[in-house]
Chain A
């Protein structure tokens, strides 16, 4: 499942749209050391007709909520929304957001989704869960009663508690402003389309989308803004933006004898800048103010999604672990019939199935499998640690499992989560092994495997595999030639000599369209040697 389908949106609190969610609401609730005792056994299990009714959903939700409370899951209030498959596809194609600006690429995504779905190539996700307060979970009307129960456990309690607890979501998701911002973005883009024509806006958005992955600040958190402030600041930005680019236009030579005059060979910007879109927004000489604003909108939304990409394994694993645990607990307490049990188990098994490497369906490591197994494994290490576990995970072994899991969910992202918690037993169970692929060697080599000498190495490699900074090319703004053709130079630092893909030139054309002057990309290895250069000319004045 696509990680960006779990956008973290926090809605306004209660009825009053002006009241901003306070951080206090995210205060963690005490996690019990072990599950609280169950109530009385019901006289008979909940009915399980295949067609759901609102009443049944409510009843299932009630027992799931009660069980989740016993396990100490801390969630936002839930809002379950029944939607049709078509609406699910709508949600899919507009990156899961309830509102967004219009762009053909979303239409394309919709068509692709629709086609796959209609042909039966792909089941739709059973649910989409939006991080908001209250937390909105979409249930598809096609689901059976058992599936609705599973989805409630998975989304409304699994994802929901992850959204509320994980530090990345707490740090990066802007409670009060994201919906406002998206509404603002949609309206602004629509107005631009009216004023400047579809084509101009579409081309600009295409170019911005091409750069969205390099349009994020990786370390600095942007300040929160409300809609009103956003509007006020836009006006201000409009006025100052043109002044800011004047540095590039300065043609009068500064007197070299003057104190503080920049040295001839000093680069602009002085430090390389990782956020290419931000640099363009602030410094591209030819952009009009509305274009700068659109660049900013794309950049802001990309920034908003950035933390989502870093917790896929953890988030899906957590939700899967909890639907598994909750549904089992319900069965043990006599709420579920055997039929419901078999149905959700069959679906669960499909979700966590990991095809082996030589299987035609193999498509990398299934994040559901990995995440689910890791949380299960943490629980195992807590409850029944072996000698090996005590050696590898000394802090974890034998501690109460609920607080341990809670801690693991709150304080990590995929990369650090794997680095911290992947146990030798799980590596053996999943039969992990690494393949070393050096393009200069004629053959591939098997590196570490799941044995004593390979555990540590495997864990590090797998952790790196989930590091967004490694997965994506490291491209920064390096220099602008202020003396002659205003050529913008980007620098790609190759990680272990990974080259850029073949369509990089296409992306550079988009950069040139935004920049308005020639663009070159230097690709160097980690030591700054082996330079490879791609250049594209300035776009035509037309």
Chain B
């Protein structure tokens, strides 16, 4: 019998994408909630991963008419060992048995319905929340380091860049071009002279004049330069920007008593976004976490976000530490330095002036960017001090953020300053 074997492996993939989309759409609220929880529990570096999401099974069930437990049933089972007719059996507790294979199909299990969001879907949800336009995710900003690259030939340059072969080719071409016509005239005149000689008018005026002209032409041809300055060609180079592949990102956060979990959460969103932005630019990113209350310390990520501290606030302590770390480990010439500071704007009276001086004199000149988000509404002394700085420095941005979707404008600022000229 004829058989047809068809390889379908390459066709019709992802047929159920539409169904999956509809599923995601339907449970968007739950999924977004799960994603939000994931963001808060993840490390900043792990943000771009897939995530598994659970939805309570009862929310997802599709009810149909079917029988419940009860009534009179005779059910046939297999594997009788020692029962005989008339034996009585205790009713199993917890309701095992009973329905046989049907029970498993009805999906009455208590487990949640779990599935995995792909990395893309997860990031989609993350960005959704932040209302970040797509363009911003992939844009590459400008650069400070340069590299020279060959860029064809030019007519001027330094001798060590002389392109000999190209120069000789130019010279040869020039010589051919310049010698063509005089050469032809020379041949004609010599032929005319030979004709005159053959006619015996060897000494006539005409012959004399011809000889004179031939001599001039020969001299001209002889004086034609073998190589001329206009033949010279030099290898040209052009400077192209290369990104510094390293960046250091400083997360500075106030952990004094007034920063509650919600505010920290907001700050974390902001830090994550900055991190993601930087990953688009740089191959290697160091993240340094500096937290402060009245004293600043460098800590690991977990302590940074989760350890609780209390006490007053002296912002300049963090900035001093920041300046020290930069000087010791991250010289501005080799690293792109970014600082993201989150605070509720509360500061020890009188310290804010120290802060702005420290920033203006020491820190800001070394930085690519300094972003300050205030996760509280009131404009306290730190805000006022920083407002003055904003006018002076291009690489300084500040915003108040009350909800995740307000974080984005800070980045719009950032991108504009970095020059999205599209």
Contacts and interface: CB of A to CB of B under 8 A. Distances in A.
A104 B19 contact: yes
A260 interface: no
A418 B15 CA distance: 39
Interface string A121-155: 00000000000001000100100000000000000
A183 interface: no
Interface string B69-85: 11111111111110111
A45 B85 CA distance: 52
Contact of B19 (A107, A138, A430): A107
Interface in B95-147: 97-98, 100-102, 104, 106, 113-116
Contacts of B68: 498-502
A434 to B, nearest CB: 5
Interface string A423-456: 0000000111111111100111111111101100
Contact of A107 (B20, B67, B83): B20
A285 B420 CA distance: 59
A58 interface: yes
A230 interface: no
B23 A507 contact: no
Interface in A446-475: 446-451, 453-454, 458, 461-462, 464-465, 471-473, 475
Contacts of B65: 211, 213-214, 472-473, 475, 500-501, 504, 507
A510 interface: yes
A93 interface: yes
B12 to A, nearest CB: 7
A83 B9 contact: yes
Contacts of B176: none
B26 interface: yes
A216 B25 CA distance: 30
A499 B75 contact: no
B8 A434 contact: no
A407 interface: no
Interface string A91-130: 0011000000011111110111011000000000000000
A83 B73 CA distance: 43
Nearest to A99: B15
Contact of A435 (B1, B6, B77): B77
Interface residues of B, number: 65
A473 B233 CA distance: 94
Contact of B22 (A103, A357, A363, A507): A103
A221 B281 CA distance: 67
Which secondary structure dominates chain A's binding surface?
Answer: mixed
A206 interface: yes
Contact of A453 (B5, B22, B85): B85
Contacts of A496: 71-73
B63 A444 contact: no
A211 B64 CA distance: 6
Contacts of A357: 77-80
Contact of B4 (A79, A475, A502): A79
Interface string A217-240: 000000000000000000000000
A473 B90 CA distance: 28
B62 A209 contact: yes
A365 B9 contact: no
A82 interface: yes
A330 B203 CA distance: 116
A356 interface: yes
B77 A473 contact: no
A435 B63 contact: no
B20 to A, nearest CB: 4
A434 B76 contact: yes
B2 interface: yes
Nearest to A201: B22
Interface string B1-40: 1111111110011111011111111100000000000000
Contacts of A138: 8
Interface in B190-242: none
Contacts of A103: 19, 22
B76 A465 contact: yes
A187 interface: no
A466 to B, nearest CB: 10
B150 interface: no
B16 A501 contact: no
Contact of A79 (B6, B16, B87, B116): B6
B376 to A, nearest CB: 39
Interface in A314-365: 354-359, 362-365
A133 to B, nearest CB: 12
A481 B3 CA distance: 59
B71 A80 contact: no
Given A501-B67, A507-B64, A458 B76 contact: yes
Nearest to B100: A364
A238 B18 CA distance: 29
B184 interface: no
A308 B37 CA distance: 44
A437 B75 contact: yes
B116 A115 contact: yes
A323 B238 CA distance: 73
B87 A436 contact: no
B3 A499 contact: no
Contacts of A75: 1
B65 to A, nearest CB: 5
B80 A499 contact: no
B79 A473 contact: no
B299 interface: no
A356 B339 CA distance: 67
Contact of A444 (B15, B19, B89, B113): B89
Interface string B238-273: 000000000000000000000000000000000000
Given A437-B98, A446-B89, A106 B16 contact: yes
Chain B CB count within 10 A is highest, among A214, A365, A497, for A365
Nearest to A78: B3
A274 interface: no
B100 A363 contact: yes
A87 B3 contact: no
B19 A356 contact: no
A102 B15 CA distance: 10
Interface of A: 54, 57-58, 61-62, 65, 69, 75, 77-84, 86-87, 89-90, 93-94, 102-108, 110-112, 114-115, 134, 138, 141, 156, 198, 202, 206, 209-214, 354-359, 362-365, 430-439, 442-451, 453-454, 458, 461-462, 464-465, 471-473, 475, 494-504, 506-507, 510
Q: What are the 3 tightest A-B residue pairs by CB atom distance, in nearest-first order?
A: A356-B79, A364-B101, A107-B23
29 contacts: A80-B3, A81-B6, A84-B9, A86-B14, A87-B13, A104-B23, A107-B21, A110-B16, A110-B20, A115-B115, A209-B62, A210-B63, A357-B78, A432-B76, A433-B77, A435-B77, A435-B89, A439-B69, A443-B88, A443-B91, A446-B89, A448-B85, A449-B83, A461-B76, A472-B66, A473-B65, A498-B67, A500-B68, A502-B68
Interface of B: 1-9, 12-16, 18-26, 60-81, 83-91, 97-98, 100-102, 104, 106, 113-116
